[in-house]
Chains A and B, each alone.
Chain A
């Protein structure tokens, strides 16, 4: 049985109004893991690090209702979720202290600081795991088989040894939906385990030593405020006008 962990975003940090209990990128990565052919050979855990217990609880219950086996929550009030090294230190401690061994750790595309790329990398460094950032496809076989983005026009197909941290940007995931059985499990039977983590003063000082001092500065608004509206009766005329404007700006259809 392989032990895998999906780290969910801190949903209290809302990016826009459409994000409710589970953001899309978390729903995608949960679905991607649960859709694996060898799902029965995996114990799928989910973890969230949050400053709001009720949001975290809701997200993890949603994860269980989709089919996740076990859920863990770390709560810290007034925490600087923008400090990637600090977040990764807490997550690494939580993993080391609560699991014997973790074969694979997953992030969706978005995380505490927006893009999960940096946090996944920092967690791999903290744990000494291999890393696959910007994964587009993975299989958990004897080794991890993976396709990842290297540059805007180049992907690699690779094999990577366990243990591994994977941040996924996969777009074409077949979404999992809650089943009655899993919903009952999430809301009646499942206990979400609370994890307490303590970071020593020395560990904190080591992280803060490499931080920068910064100031918030005023930047004047750059809006031009003089948009010329193209107002014509007919949609087709508007389309023609845009084509003409493009031509004026030097762009014509090839």
Chain B
């Protein structure tokens, strides 16, 4: 069996199911999607899978490490599987790495692509500094947990969409190590599926320029992003970081203000359809990947764009 750890995002579930079905074809295995939830919902149905499981408990309304760990850990130990696929959101990453650590299972994080051929199934990951790509061969005779950051796997699926849900009552009794007081909505546009991203780097590393970047992005209904040093300086949140240790994005337009194009940053955005780069150094690496380039001070261009658009 190949399991997909489902989330509340249908598009991400479908992407993982594509990978699962493609691998399943090489081994003639079944594919199932697995959800942790409080009840049976529409998001759990209509997938190209053989089985759908919902591990159900009212206490799963909020993410509590102990509760999620208990439920998923029991399921993983009670069921045989060769692969468990998951997206790499914070909750999934946290819980699956812990399950792998405690059960001494093999886990691969930050997978950026797959290769399947007569020699087996391979996962690809970038090295931390993105200087090279590593290809990992899966041993499908043991349990593998795969946390997927990005994938281009396409699959012609022959099976019907499934609506039959298997509900498993997930019982657990924890010591109450974690108490959730409240959840807080943070006003932020996700860069995950953004069509247009305004991104800033060292060339605009001052608060005023970043405020201008945010204002401009707001006018275009664009997401804001930045390189790793911008997180360290506090101008952007870690979930807005693009690059090897951040998010991998491929929007229609990626406008890079004051970004030189380090290998780490390029790893996260080089597949954008149109890259517009503004940098005061003509030899900046970003221009090797950009469709349009401006050799100028990004702070000035930002200010001028705002002024013109505000008129």
Using CB atoms, name the residue of chain A closest to B221: A254
- CA distance in complex: A157, B297 (Å): 41
Given contacts A243-B308, A246-B253, contact A214 B137 (CB under 8 A): yes
| Interchain CB contact under 8 A, B106 and A149 | no
Q: Which residues of the partner chain B approach A253 to less than 8 Å between Cβ atoms?
A: 219-220, 309
Residues of A within 8 A of B270 (CB): 222
Q: How far is the CB of B249 from chain A (nearest CB, A)?
A: 12
Interface size class of B (residues with CB under 8 A): 35 or more
B-contact 0/1 string along A184-225, CB 8 Å cutoff: 000000000000000000000010011111111101001111
Asked if A70 is at the interface of the complex by the 8 Å CB criterion, the answer is no
Interface residues of A (CB under 8 A from B): 15-16, 18, 23-25, 28, 82, 85, 88, 109-110, 113-115, 117-118, 121-122, 124-126, 130-131, 133-134, 147, 149-161, 169, 171-173, 206, 209-217, 219, 222-225, 227-231, 235-236, 238-240, 242-243, 245-246, 249-254
Q: Contact at B90–A151, with CB atoms within 8 Å?
A: yes
Interface residues of B (CB under 8 A from A): 62-63, 65, 89-91, 93-94, 97-98, 100-102, 104-109, 124, 128-129, 132-139, 176-188, 190-192, 195-196, 219-222, 228-229, 231-234, 237-239, 244-245, 252-253, 255, 262, 264, 270, 274, 276-278, 287-297, 300-301, 304-305, 307-309
Residue numbers in B under 8 Å from A251 (CB-CB): 195-196, 220, 222, 252-253
- Name the residue in A82, A134, A171, A209 with the highest tally of chain B Cβ atoms < 10 Å from its Cβ: A171
- Closest chain-A Cβ to B225's Cβ sits at a distance in Å of 11
Question: In the complex, which residues of chain A have a beta carbon less than 8 angstroms from the beta carbon of B89?
Answer: 151
Asked whether A154 and B184 contact (CB < 8 A) given A122-B97, A227-B287, the answer is: yes
Cβ-defined contact, B232 with A249, below 8 A: no
Closest chain B residue to A219, Cβ basis: B133
Residue of B whose beta carbon sits closest to that of A114:
B245
Interface of B is mostly: mixed
Q: How far is the CA of A81 from the CA of B124 in the complex (A)?
A: 20
Contacts A16-B229, A153-B188, A217-B134 given: A223-B288 contact, CB under 8 Å?
yes
The one of A125, A235, A254 in contact with B98, judged by C-beta atoms closer than 8 angstroms, is A125
Given A121-B94, A158-B181, A222-B270, A115 and B245 contact (CB-CB distance below 8 Å): yes
User: Given A152-B190, A212-B136 in contact, is the A171-B182 Cβ separation under 8 Å?
Assistant: no
A172 contacts B295, CB within 8 Å?
no
Assuming the A-B contacts A114-B244, A118-B97, A235-B301, are A212 and B220 also in contact, with contact meaning beta carbons closer than 8 angstroms in the complex?
no
Q: Which of B276, B295, B307 contacts A245 (CB 8 A)?
A: B276
